[in-house]
Amino acid sequence: ETGVTQSPTHLIKTRGQQVTLRCSSQSGHNTVSWYQQALGQGPQFIFQYYREEENGRGNFPPRFSGLQFPNYSSELNVNALELDDSALYLCASSLAGGSSYEQYFGPGTRLTVT
């Protein structure tokens, strides 16, 4: 069974730039959720993708967008980066409609915006 992987591990960007983060879901999982975790806080839900469609969104502006591909991997794109976007970005995969309730987190991408 392949676990959730994310790339890159760390990233430094300048304010105003754009960034793409990638996530490969666990084998057999069809749903990917993205979370932003600022230092000292819990993960905040950004959005979720199921069967290549956005399936729910948290309180994040439109400059946060995503994609899910036929193999269920996913991308998170952030445009016009702001200093407050500096955080750990986590993706989590799960199986919608399955009996398992768990979601498995990837190791995260640490984004620093300067």
Partner 1 sequence: GQNIDQPTEMTATEGAIVQINCTYQTSGFNGLFWYQQHAGEAPTFLSYNVLDGLEEKGRFSSFLSRSKGYSYLLLKELQMKDSASYLCAVRDNTNAGKSTFGDGTTLTVKP
Interacting residues toward partner 1 by CB under 8 A: 31, 33, 35, 40-45, 48, 50, 55-56, 90, 94-97, 101-108, 110
Distance (Å, rounded) from C-alpha 93 to C-alpha 76? 14
* Minimum distance of partner 1 from residue 19's CB (angstroms): 19
Query: What's the token pair of residue 37?
Result: 């975790």
Q: Radius of gyration of the chain from Cα atoms?
A: 13
Cis peptide, bond prior to residue 8, ω within 30 of zero: yes
Is 75 buried (19+), middle (13-18) or exposed (0-12) by CB count in 10 A? Answer: middle
Minimum CB distance to partner 1 smaller for 62 or for 97: 97
Minimum CB distance to partner 1 smaller for 9 or for 71: 9
* Minimum distance of partner 1 from residue 80's CB (angstroms): 25
Minimum CB distance to partner 1 smaller for 18 or for 42: 42
* Minimum distance of partner 1 from residue 8's CB (angstroms): 15
